[in-house]
Amino acid sequence: MELLKVQKANKIVRLVLNNIVWIILIFSVAGFSSTIKGYLSLGNYINIVYHSVFIGMLAIAESYCLISGNIDLSVESMAAFGAIASAWLCGASPFASGLKVNPFVGLLLVMSVGGAVGFINAFFILKMRIQPFLVTLSTFIVMRGLAVLLTGGKGISQITDSFQFVSMVKFLRMPLMVYIMFIFYIFFHFILEKTQFGKHVFIIGGNVNVAYNFGINVHERLFVVFVFSGVISAITGWLMTARASGATPAMASGFLFEVLAAVVIGGVSMIGGVGSLIGVFAGVLLLSSIRSALNILAISPFITEVIRGSLVLMAVVLDSVKRMFR
Amino acid sequence: MKNNKKVILKVLALSKNFGSVVALNNVNFEIYEDEIVGLVGDNGAGKSTLIKILSGNFPPDKGEVYFEGEKVNFKSPVESRLLGIETVYQDLSLCENLDPVSNLFVGREVYKKFLFFKILQKKEMERKTLEVLSKIDIHIPSVKEKVEYLSGGQRQAVSLSRFVAWGRRLVFLDEPTAALGVRETSKALDLIKRIRKEREVSIIFISHNLPQVFEIADRIIVLRHGEVVGIREKRFTNPDEIVSLITGAIHIKSIGQQ
């Protein structure tokens, strides 16, 4: 009976540790708001959320991959390719294709490319049995290369009005894009926590032998995870173009590490099988709110990187602390 | 006593090599309905290999297996499970990142279709898990707690819960008491006996622990170097004879001798 008591006490500690990102987020925002002039305003808060949209979307894709025990390094350059390809398809400037495709047709086209890239990732990982890290590192490089190749390295600075419109719409002072991110989080959280597919993702990430032994179609599930990842990345790229009213092949550079940082801070384990999108969302917001604080304070951007790196380290330490409370 | 019982599993001339290592060589035996058979042998005698073949983890090189009179050729554990054969593996086969409910229902999740989503019926699965665990009588803090936070005995209980919930016709228990303390072991053995009484299920019980085997088995099959060196009814044998068979001190290959 002693054992049960200890286990119950540890449960409370773990409950706190599992939700610690939210606690840190609340304390950070409260701290910044009370000490930094200009931080405490609805406009700034909306800004923080608005600036977390792209990292936030890619973090969903990455969370699924990590929870399933895999990793997808190609999200960043897939987003870049999605951005430049939608600008190329729908844009109006000299380096665009001149096709002036309807932006929603353009979205469908880049989504199919994203799906195809996810499929190729999954194919090499599952059928050729190559490490996910190596496969997606290759597609990471290839997609960035294709992004440069598409326009000969040139940017596209003009898109059609109907495309730009996507970034202009606001409801209740919040840009449409923020709602799009919310919908993605709600939808993918629902899939992960409430459906059989989501449960299988956790099982595969936790112990793939159990998954095989008990008849879960591991390959099918992982193909879906990687295709999801590619498609979400492509959609993110399309949104980036809409917001910037154009695209360059260098877009989204460095996003990968920010995404991984947000996801790990949000409590997703790199080993697989552990994590929730609720935590990830807090991780994304935390990074964004810190970025905003540093911007307002006009602190050297180099220190930003140091702070961000330390946060990731803290998250990893936290992960091992959680393990101690068995 | 066994003459009027139906054969549920028949193994004929089963052989398996791993490279040049002979894991199983010409293994023959029968399992009857509603009996507990102890499968014993030294480390590397082929016990786990035999179980893995019979539950469909990998195919034999030679030989035939008949389940309830039908020849079977399992290509995966799923196929054997569909016929009511359940295996509790030695390494527990648990997802430590998930709770007992998820572990009990791996690959058998209860869901309702909504559009093209398969929505998990968590309440129903929890209820069934509680019911099964209460039968096992080993306390765990919560069915929603991750297995990694449970003790060895509690994990074993989760592992056994699969057999209690799903074992309908034939169950392989690979060292089910290995992680248990003295009190928990006797509970687990009681459980196995009770389940056998409740339903017509045959149980193959692998163990290193001869007193345990003698406590619950009706018959004992001894493997040595991949061969069946003895099949004994418990009534007509004693631990000394079984030990001699395991170690090779008696060398009679008289299969089926009483």
Point out the residue among B117, B120, B142 whose CB comes nearest to the CB of A199. Answer: B120
Comparing alpha-carbon positions, the chain A residue that sits nearest to B86 is A214
Instruction: Copy the structure tokens of residue A214.
Output: 């008990």
Sign of CA dihedral B135, B136, B140, B144: negative
> Using CB atoms, which residue from A195, A205, A210 is nearest to B93?
A210
Please name the member of B89, B109, B142 whose beta carbon is closest to the beta carbon of A199.
Answer: B109
Q: What is the mean pLDDT of residues B214-231?
A: 91
**Residue B148 token pair:** 């990694």
Task: Find the CB nearest B118 among A3, A8, A197.
Answer: A197
A326/B93 Cβ within 8 A: no
Q: From the CB of residue A213, how many other CB atoms can be counted at a distance below 10 Å?
A: 21
Contact A7 B141 (CB under 8 A): yes
Residues from chain B contacting residue A10 (CB–CB below 8 Å): 149
For residue B40, report the phi and psi dihedrals to the nearest 5 degrees: -125, 165
Digit-coded pLDDT (tens) for B104-117: 999 899 999 998 89
How large is the average pLDDT for residues B73-86? 88
pLDDT above 90 for B235 = no
Q: Which residues, numbered 125 to 154 in chain B, qualify as contacts with chain A under a Cβ-Cβ cut-off of 8 Å?
A: 139, 141-142, 145, 148-151
Beta partners for residue B221, in sequence order: B39, B231
Burial readout B44-62 (b: 16 or more C-beta within 10 A, e: otherwise) = ebbbbbbbbbbbbbeebee
Residue A240 forms part of a structural domain: yes
Percent of chain B whose predicted confidence (pLDDT) is above 90: 37
Distance CA(A299)–CA(A264), nearest Å, equals 25
Instruction: Please identify every stretch of chain A with a pLDDT value under 70, giving residue numbers as ranges.
Output: 1-2, 323, 325-326
- Is the residue at A67 inside a domain? yes
- Beta-carbon separation of A196 and B107 below 8 A: no
**Smallest CA–CA separation between A284 and chain B, in Å?**
24
CB–CB of B111 and A4 under 8 A?
Answer: no
DSSP B37: E
B95/A202 Cβ within 8 A: yes
Q: Is A295 exposed, middle or buried (0-12, 13-18, 19+ CB in 10 A)?
A: middle
What are the structural domains, with CATH classification, of chain B?
Answer: 7-84+167-247 (3.40.50.300)
* Sequence letter at residue A247: A
Q: Do B98 and A273 touch (CB under 8 A)?
A: yes
Query: Which residue in chain A has the smallest CA separation from B111?
Result: A196
Share of chain B above pLDDT 70, in %: 94
Q: Which of B92, B55, B91, B93 is nearest to B74 (CA)?
A: B55
How many C-beta neighbours within 10 Å does residue B108 have? 13
Name which residue leads in pLDDT, A79 or B233.
A79
CA distance A272 to A263: 12
Question: For residues B219 and B232, is the Cβ–Cβ distance under 8 A?
Answer: yes
Cβ-defined contact of B97 to A273 (cutoff 8 Å):
yes
Contact between A301 and A313 (Cβ < 8 Å): no
In this predicted structure, what is the pLDDT of residue A169? 87
- Could you list the residue range(s) of the whole structural domain that residue A175 is in? 52-251
**B-chain residue closest to A195, CA distance:** B119
Shortest Cα distance, chain A CAs vs residue B172, angstroms: 14
| Nearest of B139, B136, B142, B137 to residue B165 by alpha carbon | B136
Q: What is the mean pLDDT of residues B230-244?
A: 88
Tell if the CB–CB gap between B145 and A207 is shorter than 8 Å: no
Which residues in chain A are closer than 8 Å to B120, comparing Cβ atoms? 194-196, 199
Mutation target to probe the A interface, by most A beta carbons within 10 A, among B57, B106, B183 is B106
Planar angle of CA B87, B203, B137, nearest 5 degrees: 80
Pairing of strands B117-120, B70-72: unpaired
- Which pair of tokens denotes residue A259? 């995404």
**Which pLDDT value is given to residue A191?**
96
Measured at the CA of B257, the angle between CA B256 and CA B258, to 5 degrees, comes to: 115
CA–CA distances in Å: residue A319 to residues A112, A191, B229: 36, 24, 51
The whole-angstrom separation of Cα B139 and Cα A4 is 8
The answer for A36, left when phi > 0, alpha when psi is -120 to 50, beta otherwise, is: beta
The pLDDT of residue B3 is 57
Whether A217 is covered by a domain: the verdict is yes
Report the phi/psi class of residue A181: left, alpha or beta, with left for phi > 0 and alpha for psi in -120 to 50: alpha
Mean pLDDT score of chain A: 90
Burial class (CB in 10 A: 0-12, 13-18, 19+), A42: exposed
A contact set with B (CB within 8 A): 3-4, 7-8, 10-11, 14, 191, 194-197, 199, 202-203, 205-207, 209-216, 272-274, 325-326
Please answer yes or no on whether A11 and B141 come within 8 Å at the CB atom. Answer: yes
Distance from the Cα of residue A252 to its chain's centroid: 12
Measured in whole angstroms, how far is the alpha carbon of residue A187 from the centre of its chain?
14
* Banded model confidence at residue B256, pLDDT cuts 50, 70, 90: very low
Tell me the C-alpha distance between B55 and A195, whole Å: 29
Helix, strand, coil abundance in chain B, percent, nearest 5: 35, 30, 35
Tell me what percent of chain A is helix, strand and coil, each rounded to the nearest 5. 75, 5, 20
Measured CA to CA, the distance from residue B254 to residue B232 in angstroms comes to: 10
Q: Any chain A CB within 8 A of the CB of B58?
A: no
Number of other residues whose CB lies within 10 A of the CB of residue B192: 25
Q: How far from the centroid of its chain's Cα atoms is residue B164's Cα?
A: 11
Please compute the mean of the pLDDT values over residues B118-135 and round it to a whole number. Answer: 92
CA dihedral (B164, B165, B167, B169) positive or negative: positive
Average pLDDT over residues B152-181: 86
Residues of B in contact with A213 (CB under 8 A): 57, 77, 89, 93
CA A72/CA A317 separation, integer angstroms = 23
SS3 sequence, A112-124?
HHHHHHHHHHHHH
pLDDT of res. B258: 42
Is residue A295 within 8 A of residue A34, CB to CB? The reply is: no
Whether A207 and B118 lie within 8 Å, measured CB to CB: no
Cα–Cα distances in angstroms (integers) from residue A20 to residues A12, A14, A263, in the given order: 12, 9, 14
Interface touch A11/B139, C-beta < 8 Å: no
Which residue on chain B is closest to A187 by alpha carbon?
Answer: B117
Q: How far apart are CA A269 and CA A95, in angstroms?
A: 42
Measured between alpha carbons, how far is residue A77 from residues A174, A247, B212 in Å? 28, 13, 60
Nearest CA-CA distance, residue B244 and chain A, Å: 36
Measured distance CA(A284)–CA(B25) in Å, rounded: 59
Q: Side by side, which strands form the sheet with B62-67?
A: B21-32, B7-18, B62-67, B70-72
The tally of domains found in chain A comes to 1
Its ipTM equals 0.84
Which residues fall within 8 angstroms of residue B31, CB to CB, at 6 or more apart? B7, B8, B9, B10, B37, B170, B202, B204
Determine the distance in angstroms separating the CA of B225 from the nearest CA of chain A, rounded to an integer. 27
Residue in chain A lying closest to B144 (CA): A11
What is the pLDDT at residue B252? Answer: 55
Chain B residues within 8 A of A202 when measuring between CB atoms: 95, 97-98, 102
